[in-house]
A and B are shown apart, each in its own frame.
Chain A
């Protein structure tokens, strides 16, 4: 029991270890429950996964800390709105199979079912709650399952970028010298390109697909994080406690992971939470340009691309096809805004010094 307490205490001190622990829990639980990671997840296992992780974090977090977080949140009502929006989207994503059930005999749940092949969109009806878009793809199904794609793109890209940024940034900041010089010059080169243009070129080189979009977005976003982490590490590298750890003979990885990162990682985490919206927006833009997911994949950007030809209705009824463009657009807008507001909340919680004056 005491041993357990000790471990919990250690975890509390180190946010990085907490994240790793959560991941481990998810993976073991996933293996036990026999989750099928490939095909759209089984509903209840996801729910239990989320609940278990939440319970774990709750045990880990001290009461006082929790109180402080709530206090910070209440000071900024807009961030509460952000949390509400993102929670709604999480619920939509998790319960997608219940909200918009995949029709019988339809193999890939991410492929939007289509009702015929006529190009003309159909208005909302009993059968199609939000109507159908060009090619008779069901808009309701598309936006609901598109939420999952959006989370996937945003979280995977940000996760990869954070890992690259933390590893390269720590190497550059901690060791300095030639390693630092090389890594920084490489970031210089990547930062010399307008982001969307470079991403576009990479997508074209890899062949248009959702994976290429994710790779391209990760390739254009990592330099910013690397620089940020490096700068923050430089700021704490010479602190007394780091010097002390070095003095008692701690190894380099231990100093970086246990002493430096926990004290310098927050700005990168804050930026990551503010960036998820921007990443999803960029992915949607690439999809809109026709460089993203294959046709019919549940993806918001592509649904707006479908709507391009139906902006203006027949004479006398200019708004005839309003649903094709308005509904997917509203989903993207709310999703991105939710993350932007949530990022503000994270900033208030994680770094009170940065909170708005």
Chain B
């Protein structure tokens, strides 16, 4: 019963937060003059000639609450404005760039989570021995690495020194042309998946080759974080009574670590899944900029540098809404996974 109350309360919290998020984005929008804001509603660059009419038509000089209602209404209709960087409506641009970024995230997320968990539990099991110290130093260094620098250094070595072994961008020129021909059907927009569905191994190899460096750049810093978290959580769980019991039963060390300790140590790691989402979204902007990898992050960067307000704010709103929903899912999953929460213990 208590669980259901918790879920209902958690769902009830969603609308106020989303409302607040929209208010904040609207607040940032208010930094701009009505003329600049009129650009939000311009779909065709030619319309800029009639900017005064547009201001009048959309009531950009109206009282602020009226403006907010107008603005939010436009957003609910899917009209997020015009992205001048790519010359298409913002909502279309998001859908256009999303697959490229998804492709990155699909490879990076499992590596971050599984790699971090694996290294962290190894470090905890070998506490105060060589492996523990090595991973600790590695984590501090990884944690301090500027991602953009790492990416450029990787490019310097694998693109420069090994002459084009692992190049930037999404696909090489020929493959890019091939992908957009009749012979190649784009089912999802994710190149590696499309290549598999089309049975075209050349495109598959090429897209994977282009993914290696961005994925490394995205993962290194975050693996360090998950690893340290997993290590301390694992150490805590190794000190618990049931571990002593398991050892006293005469179980071998591997079973104790892998079966008894790790499962319980995983719970705090789940709690920070929200963090992983943020890390990936933040990282994607920098990574895609370095590698000229045309995805959402690259688009956001281009929009920001060109002071393309509607695109930047739409991207901010989009990621924030996604983040809020991610957190909701994590919280609900939490109740399913941790039996102490499920059975009505400490929910908050």
Q: Which A residues are closer than 8 A to B by beta carbons?
A: 78, 185-186, 188-190, 192-198, 200-206, 277, 281, 284-285, 288-291, 301, 304, 307-308, 311-313, 318-319, 322, 325-326, 328-329, 332-333, 336-337, 340-341, 357
Q: Which B residues are closer than 8 A to A by beta carbons?
A: 16-17, 20-21, 23-25, 28-29, 31-32, 137, 140-141, 143-149, 152-153, 155-156, 159-161, 163, 235, 277-278, 281-282, 285-286, 289-290, 300-301, 304-305, 307, 309, 312-313, 315-316, 319-320, 323-324, 327
Closest residue of chain B to A205 (Cβ to Cβ) is B31
Query: When chains A and B are docked, how far (Å) is the Cα of A333 from the Cα of B315?
Result: 29
A291 in contact with B305 (CB, 8 Å): yes
With contact pairs A193-B21, A197-B319, A201-B316 given, residues A333 and B144 touching in the complex (Cβ less than 8 Å): yes
Given contacts A188-B17, A205-B309, A304-B148, 6 further A-B contacts (CB under 8 A): A185-B16, A200-B316, A201-B25, A289-B285, A311-B155, A340-B143
Query: When chains A and B are docked, how far (Å) is the Cα of A341 from the Cα of B143?
Result: 11
A322 in contact with B156 (CB, 8 Å): yes
Task: Tell me if B's interface is mostly helix, strand, loop or mixed.
Answer: helix
Contacts of A312 in B (CB 8 A): 155-156, 159-160
Closest residue of chain B to A344 (Cβ to Cβ) is B140
B286 in contact with A288 (CB, 8 Å): yes
B161 in contact with A204 (CB, 8 Å): no
Interchain Cβ contacts within 8 Å, total number? 146
Query: When chains A and B are docked, how far (Å) is the Cα of A280 from the Cα of B21?
Result: 26
B23 in contact with A337 (CB, 8 Å): no
Task: Please indicate which of the listed interface residues B24, B313, B323, B324 has the most CB atoms of chain A within 10 Å of its own CB.
Answer: B24
B316 in contact with A329 (CB, 8 Å): no
Query: When chains A and B are docked, how far (Å) is the Cα of A336 from the Cα of B221?
Result: 13
A318 in contact with B300 (CB, 8 Å): no
A318 partner, pick from B140, B161, B323, beta carbons under 8 A:
B161
A326 in contact with B153 (CB, 8 Å): yes
Query: When chains A and B are docked, how far (Å) is the Cα of A319 from the Cα of B153?
Result: 10
A289 in contact with B156 (CB, 8 Å): no
Query: When chains A and B are docked, how far (Å) is the Cα of A272 from the Cα of B24?
Result: 25
Shortest Cβ-Cβ A-B pairs, 8 listed: A189-B20, A329-B149, A318-B160, A337-B144, A312-B160, A196-B282, A205-B31, A336-B144
B278 partner, pick from A194, A202, A290, A308, beta carbons under 8 A:
A194
A333 partner, pick from B149, B156, B282, beta carbons under 8 A:
B149
Task: Tell me if A's interface is mostly helix, strand, loop or mixed.
Answer: helix
Query: When chains A and B are docked, how far (Å) is the Cα of A308 from the Cα of B286?
Result: 13
With contact pairs A200-B300, A312-B155, A357-B235 given, residues A340 and B149 touching in the complex (Cβ less than 8 Å): no
B28 in contact with A289 (CB, 8 Å): no
30 intermolecular pairs with C-beta atoms under 8 Å apart: A188-B17, A189-B24, A192-B20, A193-B316, A194-B319, A195-B278, A200-B300, A201-B313, A202-B28, A204-B312, A205-B31, A205-B32, A206-B31, A281-B146, A284-B148, A285-B147, A285-B148, A288-B148, A288-B289, A289-B285, A289-B289, A289-B305, A290-B305, A291-B304, A311-B160, A319-B161, A329-B149, A329-B152, A336-B144, A340-B144
Query: When chains A and B are docked, how far (Å) is the Cα of A197 from the Cα of B25?
Result: 12
Contacts of A206 in B (CB 8 A): 31
Task: Please indicate which of the listed interface residues A285, A304, A313, A326 has the most CB atoms of chain B within 10 Å of its own CB.
Answer: A285
Give the distance to chain B from A288, nearest Cβ to Cβ, in Å: 5
A192 in contact with B17 (CB, 8 Å): yes
With contact pairs A188-B20, A192-B323, A319-B156 given, residues A332 and B149 touching in the complex (Cβ less than 8 Å): yes
Give the distance to chain B from A285, nearest Cβ to Cβ, in Å: 6
Give the distance to chain A from B229, nearest Cβ to Cβ, in Å: 14
Contacts of B309 in A (CB 8 A): 204-205
Contacts of B285 in A (CB 8 A): 196-197, 200, 289
Contacts of B137 in A (CB 8 A): 78
A336 in contact with B146 (CB, 8 Å): yes
A193 in contact with B144 (CB, 8 Å): no
With contact pairs A192-B17, A308-B152 given, residues A197 and B282 touching in the complex (Cβ less than 8 Å): yes
Contacts of A325 in B (CB 8 A): 149, 152-153, 156
Task: Please indicate which of the listed interface residues B29, B160, B324 has the most CB atoms of chain A within 10 Å of its own CB.
Answer: B160
With contact pairs A291-B305, A318-B160 given, residues A332 and B153 touching in the complex (Cβ less than 8 Å): no
Task: Please indicate which of the listed interface residues A196, A201, A322 has the most CB atoms of chain B within 10 Å of its own CB.
Answer: A201
Query: When chains A and B are docked, how far (Å) is the Cα of A299 from the Cα of B156?
Result: 22
Query: When chains A and B are docked, how far (Å) is the Cα of A312 from the Cα of B35?
Result: 43
Contacts of B152 in A (CB 8 A): 304, 307-308, 311, 325, 329
